[in-house]
Structure 1
């Protein structure tokens, strides 16, 4: 590992760090060459160009429209080539491989089964194809030396009337002993948000709630606070995007005052699936530097970082983290916090969550601390704590940060470690301790 820069995060180091993505659309992350090849195989002649490089640029340029409806038109081309079993297997497999190559160790890929029926597939066949692709992607990544666990979210299109049908499809494929084999883990509604509230699909949400299946909804992207509130009323335990929650925050003489919805989201620790680049393309903000992320983060909201659509937004998980770090002067320990926020709110089972924390995520950051020239006793809980200590302890202090700021950073880190059952105090830290239920979003506030 190369020597890190202590004044800012190093993009190459960020690329090697373990990451978790909760919001990544399967039909928004295809490889351009795959689109061209699948179009040729299926006879689709609607592509704006068949040159992969030019096509990649076209998607990015077309997505920079400044509004969500126009942004969504780019998906006409990707879904057009995802209408056969082989295409769905390939696209899913490649998505998992690409995410793993970018350091992602856990990914939730979402898609709308109802958009892949034009070639004669049934809804069930669509699900089974993506499950097969996820399994193949995990195996291919492992052969390349990467550990990744992929899971699938089924979306209903909010402007259509098939949400109850998709919810039943999810119920039928939920759990490791179902045809979904444990890969299908949650529900979402997607598509044009403004004018199509979650409450249009009450029957679907009722079924999922009674079946104890977790739900996230797109809200607070193209529409405002009421969209978020409506999603919460339908049982959403995460909010896709959700960044317009800032509209429920007022500046008073005494400071910032949170409205009822914003306070609920913050205090109940409802995770926001923030997608920085995508939010600039759909008109939430003009640039990442203007993004409300920092306001929400500093106010104690549970923030996670996501890609949304890797092709359409021309982004990666590593790139999104670097953009936020550079815009808001984030440190490595804060990237760890955002990563553990995501994992703690993933729709996977607890044993997998704990395994990834202890075997992948935390060791990855401890290795970074070790690279900062801090002596560690490899393999112990105290060693991991000492390695992370270097991320914002001794080295930051040696570059002129005041003692009060260092003390605050150490306090934040200690909170992070305690959630993982680790301690600074001695070499006997309990590496098998309870990971806790509160997440890391209150650290650093």
Structure 2
């Protein structure tokens, strides 16, 4: 390894450490289409999933098998018919469907059991548990068409899944469900994944597809969606999306709608896409996130009163510099806020100076502190700053230095500030100066 490559590796490893700590003990539901199982990058995906498990992530893997089923039924001269994009699974084709899904599951289990020397999974001890985690019921008759053994999720055996995860195992779920009468139903892997993620109140749904994510009208990758933005995108452009991408985005939306905090699209054709999405600041795909009734957004003139009420106690304590209503009204475009039920519970502002910007007025309502809201606001401001070509942030603070250090800021000097800010520095206040590279 060259010195430059070694330096880059060390930097990446250091920058990934906060994410390693953040993900440890969290529950991720991974949605892997059948197309990924036959792709040349499949073994790399398995290695990366094994790495997540070794880092303490609780994994539920839900695999698909549509191309495998298509091939199996075609070889037996009984190709399936579809209605509303759902396979009609009749009694004659059910045996082939079960065989194809069983082979796909065995492929997953075998890959997760690899421990050969000189392989990325050497020395790994991964226990994989499969079972009747999902109860199902028939789709029934739709538009006069009986889908027969094609079903939908009725209930997830959450207790059984949690016990498996608590034991340190990876739970592997196939697109099958069972009824109380002993029937078996062919399900979509997306339906299984979204129901499991919601039932477990998972921290993430990771939806693999054959692209990095979705793009805007200019062809640029959309890094993140709120639920409302995702819904609007579907209404405007959902019909134009490739099948696997559309299915992944729909599953991400439905999961977040049912309480999953974040869902992320991951490209199964790109080596390292999973690790890049989870362990780098910007990620590599599209993320859909739920605000849990708390909305992160840019401030408007109507928010001035709420911001003044929020920051008044901190101004009285000398933590923040006093701002008049008139000043705040003129600077409101620099603010972002977090709102809950019409109340401003957190705020922060950003003042640009060419390619560097000042972070200021970071405040959280006392009733909502220690919930990561200020950090969420900071992440939103950082993302916006990078989009505007800003490469560095600075902050002046008298009493919250420790928090900024925890967010990756480092101490700096007055002469590192923009000249305009240097001339306004209040030596009597004696604020400490911190910088963060974006």
Same fold judged by TM-score > 0.5? Answer: no
Structure holding more strand per residue: 2
Structure holding more helix per residue: 1
TM-score w.r.t. the length of structure 2 is: 0.30
TM-score w.r.t. the length of structure 1 is: 0.30
Based on CA coordinates, which of the two structures has the bigger radius of gyration?
2
The higher relative CO (CA closer than 8 Å, separation ≥ 6) is in: 1
